[in-house]
């Protein structure tokens, strides 16, 4: 298991991927080990829609990206290495830092943002 300092570094990097979209989205949570972004527009049941999040868990750091769940075609070109980090349909878990996968995840996040924007969720 990685040291908590490693998890903090991983979290900081994943948070920075999401933070680039902060102005167009609404910050729900920005606390130590927890960062959540929602749409500013209301969705189902007149509640904001989660766009993405990063959170330090017990054994890894999770990165949630809801556009991947709603637009499954976004993952078609994903590398096998990033796909191996997927847990469920919209969560990626990291116990170690991987700049190559973080770069790919940043591109996927940007594509997800553009897709949410195109369908009117942002």
62-90 confidence digits (pLDDT tens): 999 999 987 878 888 899 999 999 998 89
Contacts made by residues 28-35, CB under 8 angstroms, sequence distance 24+: 29/53, 33/7, 33/8, 35/11
Q: What are phi and psi of 43, to 5 degrees?
A: -115, -135
pLDDT bin (cut points 50, 70, 90) of residue 13 is very high
Class of domain 4-118: alpha beta
Nearest to 98 by CA among 3, 33, 6: 6
Quick one: average pLDDT of 102-106?
97
Residue 33 CA from chain centroid, whole number: 14
Burial 59-83 (b: 16+ CB within 10 A, else e): ebbbbbbbbbbbeeebbeebeeebe
pTM above 0.85, yes or no: yes
Tens of pLDDT, residue by residue over 16-65, are 999 999 999 989 989 989 999 998 766 666 778 889 999 999 999 999 99
pLDDT for residue 119: 78
Instruction: Write down the domain spans for the chain.
Output: 4-118
Above 50 in pLDDT, residue 1? no
How many helices and strands in the chain, by DSSP H and E? 4, 6
């Amino acid at each position: 298991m990685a040291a908590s300092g490693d998890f903090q570094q991983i979290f900081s990097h994943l948070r920075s991927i999401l933070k680039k979209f902060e102005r167009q989205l609404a910050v729900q949570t920005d606390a130590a080990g927890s960062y959540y972004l929602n749409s500013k527009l209301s969705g189902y049941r007149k509640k904001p829609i989660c766009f993405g999040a990063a959170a330090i868990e017990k054994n890894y750091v999770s990165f949630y990206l809801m556009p991947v769940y709603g637009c499954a075609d976004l993952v078609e070109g994903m590398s096998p290495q990033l796909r191996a980090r997927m847990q469920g349909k919209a969560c990626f878990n990291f116990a170690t830092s991987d700049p190559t996968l973080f770069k790919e995840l940043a591109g996927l996040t940007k594509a997800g943002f553009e897709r949410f924007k195109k369908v009117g969720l942002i």
